[in-house]
Amino acid sequence: DAKTTQPPSMDCAEGRAANLPCNHSTISGNEYVYWYRQIHSQGPQYIIHGLKNNETNEMASLIITEDRKSSTLILPHATLRDTAVYYCIVRQGTTGTASKLTFGTGTRLQVTL
Amino acid sequence: DTEVTQTPKHLVMGMTNKKSLKCEQHMGHRAMYWYKQKAKKPPELMFVYSYEKLSINESVPSRFSPECPNSSLLNLHLHALQPEDSALYLCASSQYGGSTEAFFGQGTRLTVV
């Protein structure tokens, strides 16, 4: 699986958009970009994933660059409950295998009043 | 039901004890995972089961013994652990293949004394 690079920490004011970047320059054609978050001492929570197109769900938006070498997770209106460690992961999408989900070091997002 | 249930939530065991961690899901997922997470570190993959067969072992010491008795259950048998094995142990499950999200349990906090 391709490695990812994320900033170790970011701050965001409550109510503002939080934009979390991720570099995955060695991503291959069949690898998906996944985002998870982990609130202190809880299990990781799935946020969103995508292959090449931008994706949006009720939690967030995922913007993937055209060359697929980087992506940005957008939380449109951050709240204090969004304070967590956010992990960007690339994962093989081939069927017929139970593929690994390998976590990098993540970005610690602190949302403040 | 998108829940992965892990029991117990907390476990304290001596270095000569034998104990087991249990994970259960009823989403029909055929891939199940064990992760280990030390404090302030990302989760590290230990084992992957595909269709109740062990498909990935990330060179985990033999004092950790996984078992998948059926498609809904995953156990992790622990024997002769060391204090440095104290960690949060996370279970996850997913559909087969890499293009669908994995769901995580809340983990078992293990302390080895």
Tens-digit pLDDT profile for residues A11-48: 999 999 999 999 999 998 888 999 999 998 899 999 99
Which of A34, A43, A46 is facing B106, going by the closest CB pair?
A43
Residues of A in contact with B96 (CB under 8 A): 95-98
Query: For position A93, what pLDDT does the model report?
Result: 64
Q: DSSP letters of chain A?
A: ----B--SEEEEETTSPEEEEEE-TT--TTEEEEEEEE-TTS--EEEEEESSS-EE-SS-EEEE-TTSSEEEEEETT--GGG-EEEEEEEEE--TTS---------EEEEEE-
Which chain A residue's Cα is nearest to B91? Answer: A43
Query: For position B97, what pLDDT does the model report?
Result: 65
- Using pLDDT thresholds of 50, 70 and 90, give the confidence band for residue B1: low
Average pLDDT over residues B2-21: 95
* A101, A103, A107: best to mutate for the B interface, most B CBs within 10 A: A101
Query: For position B75, what pLDDT does the model report?
Result: 98
Angstroms from A77 CA to nearest CA on chain B: 24
Residues of B in contact with A94 (CB under 8 A): 97-98
pLDDT at residue A84 above 80?
Answer: yes
A84 vs A3, higher pLDDT: A84
Query: For position B95, what pLDDT does the model report?
Result: 86
Query: For position A18, what pLDDT does the model report?
Result: 98
Contacts of A103 (CB under 8 A, 6+ apart): A36, A44, A87, A89, B42, B43, B44
> How many contacts, defined by CB atoms under 8 Å, are there between A and B?
76
Structure tokens of B78? 């622990």
Query: For position A60, what pLDDT does the model report?
Result: 98
% pLDDT > 70, chain B: 96
**SS3 of residue B85 by DSSP:** helix
**pLDDT for A36-81, tens place per residue?**
999 988 999 999 999 998 999 999 999 999 999 999 999 999 999 9
